[in-house]
Chain A
């Protein structure tokens, strides 16, 4: 059986096989670039016992990252926003403000920049479940925007 673990540039250029491999890698590169344009969100507080408070990120191959938050009514969830470094100029737009509320927060801590190693204060938000239902939250930052699909459980 032939091995398929070869690098794409090890075959002579011009062959149809090599062109197909180029196309595949270009697509993967484009997908990675597209998903990398959105801020990353991660939870920094736990759920209280018997209640739900979670934030997860879906990383589709050919589109931007999708964030899904799930929390119980009355429960608060703190999360950070980073895009290489902490997000700045954060603004949220909630499709149904009766379901969830988002507030700015201050965590007394610093985040290390992935490239420059500069330390910058965390960019934190607190999400509070107000009523059962589903809604979307658009988070705009100076570094980009993203959508959070929020589900509030009874």
Chain B
């Protein structure tokens, strides 16, 4: 993880345990400060700014490892496009033009100042003109935008109390 977790967001950590001479036993995650970073099933949810230790424990409570994670308040979000493999291509900083029937994948990226933060958040998507449809894509912060009629619109996303938008122009084939 290259940055702190955004307060209000959550991540699903991947634990690659390397116990010498042994496979991985049954594991549980526990937080030293649930008021900062709470364990929620297989997710870690950032509740308030701070540092918390995440303990990786066995069924009997024996700690196998631990790591410290930071949580910070986000200051802005920006919208990024994704390729077909859902890999990020870059930030949207200009008008997006689509032909009717074309689509793009879009996701918000969370920042604190210049630093990108980890975690995904609940998002609300709005478009002010019915020139495209906004479809869910299996991840709560990611959408597929499908151009449906020629025209111009502003697409806005709200996440963690922050907003970002871009201009969308749909042209006929």
Shortest CB distance A87–B (Å): 15
Shortest CB distance A94–B (Å): 15
Which residues of A are found within 8 Å of B51, using beta-carbon distances?
48, 51, 72, 74-75
Docked pose: A78 CA to B66 CA in angstroms: 9
Whether B63 contacts A74 by the Cβ 8 Å rule is no
Tell me the chain A residues, 74-116 only, with Cβ under 8 Å from chain B. 74-76, 78, 101, 103-106, 108-109
Partner among A76, A106, A108 whose Cβ is within 8 Å of the Cβ of B32: A76
Whether B33 contacts A74 by the Cβ 8 Å rule is yes
Shortest CB distance B98–A (Å): 45
**Interface mask (B45-58 → A, CB under 8 Å = 1, otherwise 0):** 00000111101011
Size category of the B interface is: 20 to 34
Partner among A48, A108, A126, A129 whose Cβ is within 8 Å of the Cβ of B63: A126
Which residues of B are found within 8 Å of A137, using beta-carbon distances?
none
Partner among A74, A104, A128, A130 whose Cβ is within 8 Å of the Cβ of B36: A74
Most buried by B among A74, A106, A128: A74
Which residues of B are found within 8 Å of A101, using beta-carbon distances?
32
Which residues of B are found within 8 Å of A48, using beta-carbon distances?
51, 68
Which residues of A are found within 8 Å of B68, using beta-carbon distances?
48, 51, 74-76
Whether A104 contacts B19 by the Cβ 8 Å rule is no
Cβ of A69 < 8 Å from any Cβ of B? Answer: no
Most buried by A among B51, B55, B58, B63: B63
Docked pose: A51 CA to B50 CA in angstroms: 11
Docked pose: A55 CA to B140 CA in angstroms: 44
Size category of the A interface is: 20 to 34
Shortest CB distance A147–B (Å): 22
Cβ of B82 < 8 Å from any Cβ of A? Answer: no
Partner among A103, A129, A130 whose Cβ is within 8 Å of the Cβ of B55: A103
Whether B66 contacts A108 by the Cβ 8 Å rule is no
Q: In the complex, which residue of chain B has the Cβ closest to the Cβ of A129?
A: B32
Which residues of A are found within 8 Å of B19, using beta-carbon distances?
106, 108
Cβ of B84 < 8 Å from any Cβ of A? Answer: no
Which residues of B are found within 8 Å of A106, using beta-carbon distances?
19, 58, 62-64
Whether B62 contacts A109 by the Cβ 8 Å rule is no
Whether B61 contacts A103 by the Cβ 8 Å rule is yes
Docked pose: A126 CA to B32 CA in angstroms: 11
Whether B52 contacts A103 by the Cβ 8 Å rule is no
| Contact A108-B20, Cβ < 8 Å, known A48-B68, A128-B32 | yes
Q: Give 9 new A-B contacts, CB below 8 A, not counting A74-B50, A75-B51.
A: A74-B32, A74-B52, A76-B32, A101-B32, A103-B55, A103-B57, A104-B62, A128-B55, A130-B32
Which positions in A face B, CB cutoff 8 Å? 45, 48, 51, 72-76, 78, 101, 103-106, 108-109, 126, 128-130
The 10 residue pairs across chains A and B that have the minimum distance between CB atoms: A76-B53, A108-B20, A48-B68, A74-B33, A105-B63, A126-B63, A128-B32, A76-B66, A74-B32, A74-B52
Which positions in B face A, CB cutoff 8 Å? 18-22, 32-33, 36, 50-53, 55, 57-58, 61-64, 66, 68
